Amino acid sequence: MLVLPAVLTHAEAPACCRMLAQALRSAAGGEAVADASGLRQFDSSALAVLLECRREALALGKTFAVHQLHPRLRNLATLYGVGELLPATL
C-alpha cells in the first residue's frame, strides 16, 4: 500500500510524487492502492499527486485505487471531473 503523508500541499507534492513512483516501481503485485486515511492537510496538489500515481501504476500494468480519500478531496475530484479516475477500494 502507498501511504500518503498527513500534509500534502503544493510544497510537498514533488517529493511525494517521487516517493510514490519509487514505491510503485519496487512493489510486487498487480494492484496499487494509495492509502489516504492519514491525509489531514491538503490542497488540489493532492489530486495531482494521486493522478500522477495512477498514471505510473497504469504504465506499470497495475490497477489503481484509493483507500479512504477525504470527502472534501473526493468532492474536489468530482468538481474537477476526475473523480472516476480515483476509484475507492472496497
The pTM for the full model equals 0.94
| Number of domains composing the chain | 1
What confidence score (pLDDT) does residue 15 get? Answer: 97
Is residue 64 a part of any domain in this protein?
Answer: yes
What confidence score (pLDDT) does residue 57 get? Answer: 96
pLDDT per residue, tens digit, the chain (90 aa), is 999 999 999 999 999 999 999 999 998 899 999 999 999 999 999 999 999 999 999 999 999 999 999 999 999 999 999 999 999 986
* Residue range of the domain that includes 55: 2-85
| Tens digits of residue pLDDT in 47-72 | 999 999 999 999 999 999 999 999 99
The CATH number of the domain holding residue 39 is 3.30.750.24
Distance CA 48, CA 59 (A): 16
Is residue 90 a part of any domain in this protein?
Answer: no
Is residue 27 a part of any domain in this protein?
Answer: yes
DSSP 14-71: HHHHHHHHHHHHH--SSEEEEE-TT--EE-THHHHHHHHHHHHHHHTT-EEEEES--H
